[in-house]
Structure 1
Amino acid sequence: MFSLVLFDIVNSNTADNSLADESILNITSRILVNRNSIEGKTADHVLVEQWQDYVLANAILANYLNILIVQASKSDFSLLKESNCTTYIKSPNSFRQTISQLSDNIRLILIDLYKDLNRIQIGLERFPIHLKTIFLLIKKGNNDSISTHLPNLLKKGENIVNDSLIILKNPKIKIGQVKDLIIELDSLITKVTSDNTLTLQIEDVKTQWNLFNDLFTQLSIQAEHAINDFLLQFNWILEQFIQLNIDKYRDLIINLLQSKGIEIERTTDLLTIISQTYVDISLEYTNEKITSNTRLILITNEQERKDIIKQYRYELQPIAIKFARLALKRHDEFLQRTQNRQKNYEKFLNEMSQNDLNLLLSIN
């Protein structure tokens, strides 16, 4: 609402008269009242509450998948009963080939996700100080400085947001395709074998993949929110602000946009810690497990099968506990930062000097 009024003021060339002042102040007060009246959970509450469980699926999935591959090495059989056909399974006459297909697809997706999330955590690392630099420029910069630097800062912020967050919108299709493959396999396996160990292991893999699907569904939603918040609300309003009497409206703009800036920073902070935790789990455990599992389907010795499965089951609990503690630590740190974010913003804007602004502008 504010952006529409501001647009009208700028384009009607009335920014310096009392009518414009009154319009902006009225709309500002309404926005602030509406903002203060909003209660309840934040839009990202599902991700905030459950991301730790979601991200552990990275390691648990690799463990369960490798156990399934070892089990598939024991015997081969057709997944078809009578003249049934399949949609996602390429070789329904071979259970082993189907498990290899599943493993290959999961491996490719997990490696790509590792690369993408590593890129995200690097890209978003300096985004909080970038946002603060924008606010500090509005608070302390003169007309020439704002006119020179603000468009560049907004463009750089737009590039950071687009380059980092649009990645999160990409993997949904591939993740969904693997989900469909697992569902089809799960629906066929009970019809062609009475081996409960196999059916339960497939069910375990499906459960972890569903968590994966939920994680990236939520990440995609929050990435979309962050992109819209920054590009359509934050950036656009500041682009109009440049055309106004800067000295007259700088406090108003800071007051109006600070909550939005804090909200954007909170969202990118959450996406960063999730990406960082996923990458760390991948580096320490998942990547090695999924890149070295191709030989498991070729095992011919029953004792070797038992020993390998025993080892996978033995190592799962301590590694899951270790990663759960890592995720919990980062979650607690995120909650602490969230609690202090408003206070830290105000402290930053009050304590930073003109020299500090000049330094930040030189590195941003």
Structure 2
Amino acid sequence: MRPDELPGKLAAIAEQGLIRRRRLVAAESGARVLVQGRALVNFSSNDYLGLSRHPDVIAAMAQGAREHGAGSGASHLVCGHSTAHHALEEELADFTGRERALLFSTGYMANMGVIASLCGRNERVYQDRLNHASLLDGAALAGARLIRYAHADAGDLRHRLAQDEAPGSLVVTDGVFSMDGDIAPLPDLAEAAAAAGAWLVVDDAHGFGVLGTGGRGSVSHHGLGQAAVPVLIGTLGKAFGTFGAFVAGSADLIEYLIQKSRTYIYTTALPPAVAEATRVSLRLLRDESWRRQRLGELIARFRAGAMQLGLHLMDSPTPIQPILLGDNDAALRAAEYLRDRGCLVSAIRPPTVPAGSARLRVTLTADHEPEQVDALLQALREFA
């Protein structure tokens, strides 16, 4: 693309109703935020357990900065791997029931690094059609042959695996799909991958903290362990309330990633203060089960109210509650209407979701009050 083509490209995006705008947001308290100076109830956050503003987590980050400094100063393999990082890795391994865990600076980097390390050029990677962009980009970075199976359809995956003369090297799926909120059929996917001699990689960014025993995620929700799901990826910027990501698995897997993952080797390590804060949020996530219970009650309250209104909800038992509208402009109008009534809800449009499936993406957190959920439902009633 030439420099003089940029204005036309931007105009084309705008004509399709796909222009994205950043909001200037300042946190206030609980589920309330200030957006360009206006107080709104935030129904767009992934801070599912409300831990990002927990006083113990904040205190741990402040103390970590005093002890370790504001940054790590180097990559993990140079001199940036601190005692805080190492302690968090050990605690995450224990939490997930895995032999070892490895910290990455972002979830995007974890997903790309894992797939590019475990899959060589022209090898096959089977991915759910609705997988997150970072998983798809991992296959591109590896130079792999990407084969996409029908969403959450283990039968289609088996069919595609059976068609190949050479067995596939990787089967990759989200644990909870970020735009639909549904849970992957992990037992069936694990069976299909094992029969083909393939790795099963699960990105459980939206499952950790919300699903499973003690918030251990979608793999725990299905009663699966390391043998069925050899590669488990999680992010720390959602239910954990901090920042970064990790991969958990066998000792050999983690050692191999340390040696081969370019997105781990060639980037600065997380600030140790973030690791210290995450250690506290992990303890809270594990021990304070009332947060998940409260979140579950709010999800049930919202779904019951939305169904009474006849809204087109998707099949989601998680905090992600999309309302399918279809048309891009309709989604933007609905988001604007809700904002005028004090509710911040994101309008999600292509290419984040397939064409014709624009939606409002409502997300609920343990910080919400029942009255705030009722106010959102009332605003949706008025808009409908």
Determine if the TM-score, normalized by the shorter chain, exceeds 0.5. Answer: no
Q: Decide which structure has the larger Cα Rg and report it.
A: 1
- TM-score (ref. length: structure 2): 0.20
Pick 1 or 2: higher relative contact order, CA cutoff 8 A, min separation 6.
1
Decide which structure has greater strand share.
2
